[in-house]
């Protein structure tokens, strides 16, 4: 692994080398390293690119790293990863994709991740997207996450795209059974003429299921963002989405929330806010000795924490 | 005897030393005569955007002392404080800091010169924690001990607060105390507090006045506190009474406070006075 690839790995997975536990490192469209453990099997697919990650029932306090790095310009990578989280398990999955494109051809990674979270299992899923490189070729990422939560299952998902991705379409779809819980925190920063679109759909099918989606986004320069969410309350459930965006310069932000209840005990809420950084926040930080620019960076860093 | 280069340097050093000594003695004598003008406001006026006159021809001098600024609501107290901190620019007049004209100086530059400002309504931030703001206020990587030092001054335990976001999850009183702690962390020559007592909740005035007394003792700087509270006026060196954008009275506490209390009493309406006396 060269220095560029090492840096990508650090950016997307906080790793300085191969992790302990189960992992699958995908590099320029091929598996570069893989490790299964007694409780977590990683099996390559035979019909299409990708892997199956099988986590045995009752597995607790174990983690899986599945980073993807692309350093070849012009590469188009498509991968299908399926996660089977066994009943009663409690695990952390760290995914992420880093693209370094110094060439003139576009590089693209499309990852389709499907989670089957069994009864009373809990999974924390962390996904970071990062791009870099001075070439004219674009860095494109289109992650799709499909989540099936069985009775009492819990998923906490944290996604972040903070720098260097020119175009992204992020799709997240979830179905929730009785007592299942889904928590999503998304952070996005777009700059230059980047474009980002996030689409969330959650079907709250089971009694007492709950879903909370929080998106914090900052759009700078000429960039464009579109957030859309659809919550379908089909039982006595609780659904909440919050889309909070800071708009700067000449950026464009569109928020399209949608709530649909087909049960009178469904409790669905959406909050959306788009606005510039509050002047009083900048003034406060300037009274502490920061310049206006430094104050702006502090506010954004906090907002995207 | 032949004069050596070393000898020349020594002689020059002695002359310089005498000059510095003279300057220090002179400076001390200026201070002891009470003529040391840290902040000078010269004919400051301020009109709002809708051309309403908020401050009219204010000329004042502040030394390294504790000044309570009081007066009826709408009298121009907060506007004056914001003009001093650089948050508002005066429509007319000049401001000097140790003789240097700072009228056109930005908020940032004034803060870096040694000016602190505590807002009447503390600003909220999404994602910025108490720890982050105390670090920015101190201008350095503050340790847990540093945070503990300033937070305990305002009656908050660092362990419970440093990792909290400075947002609506804290009560108004907690945010107000953290606002004061930020000024304490800065340790600047000039500290301006805009109604620090408002919304202080269970934390008592006694603690608040102790904070100001300690700050004055430690920094020996200029503390300007906008307040309506008698307990704060009682510990001030000087009291400035602003009304309708004018300086009505400005002088030592002994000169101003008795007349203020008297007029406050006379200002009470007859019905209320009778009820209070009856109680």
Token pair in block for residue A131? 């791009």
Domain at B124, CATH number? 3.40.50.300
Task: Report the pLDDT value the prediction gives residue A121, as an integer from 0 to 100.
Answer: 98
Q: For residues B245, B251, B256 and B260, what is the CA-based torsion angle, rounded to 10 degrees?
A: 10
**Domain count for chain B:** 1
Task: Map out the domains of chain A as residue ranges.
Answer: 3-277
Name every chain B residue with its beta carbon within 8 A of the beta carbon of A216.
Answer: 126-127
Residue B26 lies in a domain: no
Residue span of the structural domain in which B52 resides = 36-268
Whether residues B119 and A301 touch (CB distance < 8 A) is answered with no
B133/A290 touch (CB, cutoff 8 Å), yes or no: no
pLDDT of residue A163: 83
Q: Is residue B29 part of a domain?
A: no
Answer yes or no: is B246 within a domain: yes
Q: Which of A287, A298, A299 sits opposite B107 (nearest CB)?
A: A287
Structure-model confidence comparison of residues A209 and B11, the more confident one: A209
Q: Which residues of B touch A284 (CB under 8 A)?
A: 119, 123
Any B CB within 8 A of A291 CB: yes
- Residues of A with CB below 8 A from B184's CB? none
Read out DSSP for B93-155? Answer: EEEEETTEE-TT--HHHHHHHTEEEE-SSPPP-SS-BHHHHHHHHHTS---HHHHHHHHHHTT
Q: Where are the alpha helices (DSSP H) in chain B?
A: 5-32, 77-85, 107-113, 130-138, 144-153, 158-161, 172-186, 205-219, 230-233, 253-267, 270-278
pLDDT by residue (tens digit) across A225-265? 999 999 999 999 999 999 999 999 999 999 999 999 999 99
Mean pLDDT, to the nearest integer, of A2-25? 82
* C-beta atoms of A286 and B132 within 8 A: no
The structure's pTM equals 0.84
ipTM of the complex: 0.84
Asked if residue B211 is part of any domain, the answer here is yes
Q: What is the pLDDT of residue A164?
A: 86
Interface mutation vs chain A, best among B112, B125, B181, B192, most A CBs within 10 Å:
B125
- Asked whether the beta carbons of residue A287 and residue B116 sit closer than 8 angstroms, the reply is yes
Give B-chain residues touching A285 at CB under 8 angstroms.
136
pLDDT band at A30 (very low <50, low <70, confident <90, very high): confident
Q: Closest approach of chain B CAs to the CA of A282, in angstroms?
A: 10
Q: Is a pLDDT exceeding 70 seen at residue B130?
A: yes
A139: nearest Cα among A205, A71, A228? A71
User: Mutate which of B81, B84, B124, B136 to disrupt the A interface (most A C-beta within 10 Å)?
Assistant: B136
Q: Do A281 and B123 make contact, defined as CB atoms within 8 angstroms?
A: yes
Model pLDDT for residues A111-132, shown as the tens digit of each residue: 999 999 999 999 999 999 988 8
CA B238 to mean position of chain CA atoms: 13
């Amino acid at each position: 692994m060269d220095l560029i690839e090492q840096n990508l790995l650090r950016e997307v997975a906080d790793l300085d080398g191969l992790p302990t536990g189960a992992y699958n490192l995908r590099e320029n469209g091929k598996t570069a390293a893989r490790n299964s453990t007694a409780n977590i099997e990683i099996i390559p697919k035979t019909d299409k690119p990708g892997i199956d990650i099988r986590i045995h029932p009752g597995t607790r306090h174990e983690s899986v790293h599945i980073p993807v790095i692309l350093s070849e310009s012009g590469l188009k990578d498509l991968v299908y990863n399926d996660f089977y989280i066994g009943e009663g398990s409690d695990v952390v999955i760290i995914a992420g994709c880093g693209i370094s494109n110094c060439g003139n051809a576009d590089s693209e990674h499309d990852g389709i991740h499907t989670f089957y979270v069994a009864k009373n299992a809990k999974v924390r899923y962390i996904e970071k997207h990062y791009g870099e490189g001075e070439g004219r070729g674009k860095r494109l990422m289109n992650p799709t996450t499909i989540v099936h939560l069985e009775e009492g299952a819990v998923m906490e998902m944290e996604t972040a795209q903070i720098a260097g991705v020119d175009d992204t379409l992020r799709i997240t779809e979830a179905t929730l059974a009785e007592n299942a819980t889904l928590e999503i925190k998304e952070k996005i920063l777009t700059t230059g003429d980047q474009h980002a679109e996030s689409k969330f759909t959650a079907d709250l099918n089971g009694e007492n299921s709950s879903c909370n989606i929080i998106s914090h986004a900052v759009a700078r320069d000429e960039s464009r963002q579109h957030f859309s969410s659809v919550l379908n309350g089909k039982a006595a459930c609780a659904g909440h989405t919050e889309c909070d965006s800071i708009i700067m310069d000449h950026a464009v932000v569109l928020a399209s929330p949608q709530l649909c209840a087909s049960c009178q005990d469904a409790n669905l809420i959406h909050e959306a806010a788009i606005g510039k950084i509050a002047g009083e926040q900048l003034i406060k930080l300037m009274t502490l000795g920061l310049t206006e620019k430094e104050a702006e960076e502090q506010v954004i860093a906090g907002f995207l924490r | 005897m032949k004069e050596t280069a070393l000898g020349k340097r020594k002689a020059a050093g002695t002359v310089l030393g005498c000059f510095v000594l003279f300057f220090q003695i002179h400076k001390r004598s200026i201070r002891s005569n009470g003529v040391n003008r840290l902040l000078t406001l010269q004919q400051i006026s301020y009109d709002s955007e809708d051309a309403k006159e908020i401050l009219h021809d204010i000329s004042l001098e502040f030394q390294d002392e504790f000044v309570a600024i009081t007066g009826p609501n709408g009298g121009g107290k907060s506007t004056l404080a914001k003009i001093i901190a650089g948050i508002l620019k005066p429509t007319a007049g000049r401001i000097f800091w140790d003789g240097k004209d700072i009228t056109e100086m930005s908020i940032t530059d004034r803060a870096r010169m040694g000016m602190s400002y505590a807002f009447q309504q503390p600003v909220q931030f999404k994602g910025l924690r108490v720890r982050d703001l105390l670090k920015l206020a101190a201008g350095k990587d503050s340790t847990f001990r540093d945070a503990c030092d300033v937070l305990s001054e305002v009656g908050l335990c660092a362990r419970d607060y440093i990792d909290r976001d400075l947002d609506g999850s804290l009560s108004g009183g907690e945010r107000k105390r953290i606002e004061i702690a930020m000024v304490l962390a800065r340790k600047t020559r000039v500290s301006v507090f805009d109604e620090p007592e408002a919304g202080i909740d269970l934390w008592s005035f006694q603690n608040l006045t102790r904070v100001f007394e300690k700050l004055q003792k430690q920094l020996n700087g200029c503390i300007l506190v906008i307040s309506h509270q008698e307990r704060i006026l009682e510990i001030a060196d000087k009291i400035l009474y602003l009304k309708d954008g004018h300086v009505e009275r400005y002088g030592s506490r002994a000169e101003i406070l008795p007349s203020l209390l008297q007029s406050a009493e006379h200002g009470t309406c007859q019905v209320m006075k009778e009820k209070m006396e009856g109680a």
